[in-house]
Amino acid sequence: MSPSSPLKGIVSVSVLALAIQLLFIQSVSSQSQNNAFLYHKCSDIEGNFTSKSPYESNLDSLFRRISYRVPSSGFAASSAGNSPDNVNGLALCRGDASSSDCGSCLATAIPELRQRCPNNKAGIIWYDNCLVKYSSTNFFGKIDYENRFYLYNVNNVSDPASFNTQTKALLTELTQKATTGDNQKLFATGEKNLEKKKLYGLVQCTRDLRRESCKACLDGIIGELPNCCDGKEGGRVVGGSCNFRYEIYPFVKIA
Ligand SMILES: *[C@@H]1O[C@H](CO)[C@@H](O)[C@H](O)[C@H]1NC(C)=O
Ligand SMILES: *[C@@H]1O[C@H](CO)[C@@H](O)[C@H](O)[C@H]1NC(C)=O
C-alpha cells in the first residue's frame, strides 16, 4: 500500500554556507520508495583531485572494500592510502535492510556519488536504505554537524501540541534503546499508540560513534523537531552521523 503522502519536503541545512534550500519532490511509488534517493552533498573545502591520481585510486579501492564488507553487517568504516592521498570512508545500511537490499543500495549509491562529486575530495550521499560518505579528513568517531537535511510529510496533524510531545517522547525512548544494553547496531525502532492513530519511529547512528556520541547526536537532531516537522504527520532529520524518522504508518521492514 502506498502511504497517503502527496508531497514531501526536503530542507537542507548547510551550516557552512548558511544556506537553506527548499525543494519538493514527488512522492514515489511504494516500490521505489524502498530505496529512494534522498540527497547528496559534495564538499568544496577539502579540495579536488584529478583523474587517475593516487587519491582517485585510493577512493576506488576504499569503495570496493566497503561494497564487499558492508552487506553482511550493515556497516563498515575504512581508510585507504597514505598521506597526503589517504581517503577515509564509511557506509551504513538502514538497520532493518536485508543484506541483499543493503548490497543493492550500495551498488546504486557508490557510482552515483562518484558521478555527482567527480573530483571532490569529500562527499556524502543518502538513500532510504543506505548512506555513503568519504573524506580526505579522518572523521571517524566525530559527530558530523555539517551534513544534515530535513524531510517531512506536508500533511498536518489535527492535534499538533500533543502529537509533537508524543513524537519527541517516542524518539527519546528509541534513543535510549539504541544506545544502552547489548544493542551493538546503534539502531532502534518502535511504536506508540496515540488516541486515534499509531506513531512509528526509527533512530540510527553510524557505528564509528561511541554510544555517548550517538546519544548526543540523536538528542541534537531530536531537538530540531520543532524546526523540521512541527505538527507534520511524518518527518526525518537525516545527518552524516545519525538520523531519525517517524510516520503514522508502519515503514520498518519486518525480518
Ligand atoms: C575545485 O573544483 C571546482 C570546480 O571545478 C572549483 O570551483 C573549485 O575552486 C576547486 N577547489 C579547489 C580548492 O581547487
Ligand atoms: C499545514 O500547515 C501549514 C502551516 O499552517 C500550511 O501552510 C500548509 O498548507 C498545511 N498543509 C496542508 C497539506 O494542509
- Predicted confidence (pLDDT) per residue in 57-75, tens digit: 999 999 999 999 999 999 9
Per-residue confidence at 28, pLDDT binned at 50, 70, 90?
A: very low
CA 66 – CA 9 distance, rounded (Å) = 31
C-alpha 18: how far from its chain's center?
20
- In the predicted model, is pLDDT for residue 20 greater than 80? no
**Residue environment code for 66-103, b if the CB has 16+ CB neighbours within 10 A, otherwise e:** bbeebbeebbbbbbbbeeebbbbbbbbbbbbbeeebbb
C-alpha 8: how far from its chain's center?
16
Q: Residues spanned by CATH 3.30.430.20 within the chain? A: 7-27+148-247, 38-135
pLDDT attached to residue 196: 87
Per-residue confidence at 182, pLDDT binned at 50, 70, 90?
A: confident
Strand order in the sheet with 120-127: 37-48, 120-127, 130-135, 87-93, 75-80
Select from 152, 154, 248 the residue to mutate for testing ligand 2; criterion: most ligand atoms less than 8 Å from CB. 154
Q: Which residue has the higher pLDDT, 2 or 81?
A: 81
In CATH, 38-135 is 3.30.430.20: yes
Region 113-132: mean pLDDT is 98
In CATH, 7-27+148-247 is 3.30.430.20: yes
223 lines ligand 1 (CB under 6 A): no
pTM check: above 0.75: yes
C-alpha 246: how far from its chain's center?
13
Q: By alpha-carbon position, which residue is closest to atom 1 of ligand 1?
A: 48
CA 63 – CA 75 distance, rounded (Å) = 13
pLDDT attached to residue 30: 38
CB half-sphere exposure, 78, CA atoms < 13 A: 20
Q: By alpha-carbon position, which residue is closest to atom 13 of ligand 1?
A: 47
Q: By alpha-carbon position, which residue is closest to atom 14 of ligand 1?
A: 47
- What does the CA dihedral 114, 116, 120, 122 come to, rounded to 10 degrees? -80
CA 113 – CA 111 distance, rounded (Å) = 5
CB count in 10 Å sphere of residue 203: 31
Task: Tell me the backbone φ, ψ of residue 253, rounded to 5 degrees.
Answer: -75, 135
Ligand 1 atom closest to Cα of residue 46: 13
Q: Ligand 1 mean position to 140 CA, how many Å? A: 25
Q: Ligand 2 mean position to 179 CA, how many Å? A: 35
Q: Ligand 1 mean position to 107 CA, how many Å? A: 27
- In the predicted model, is pLDDT for residue 111 greater than 90? yes
Output the ligand 2 site: residues, CB below 6 A: 154-156
Q: By alpha-carbon position, which residue is closest to atom 11 of ligand 1?
A: 47
CA 10 – CA 149 distance, rounded (Å) = 7
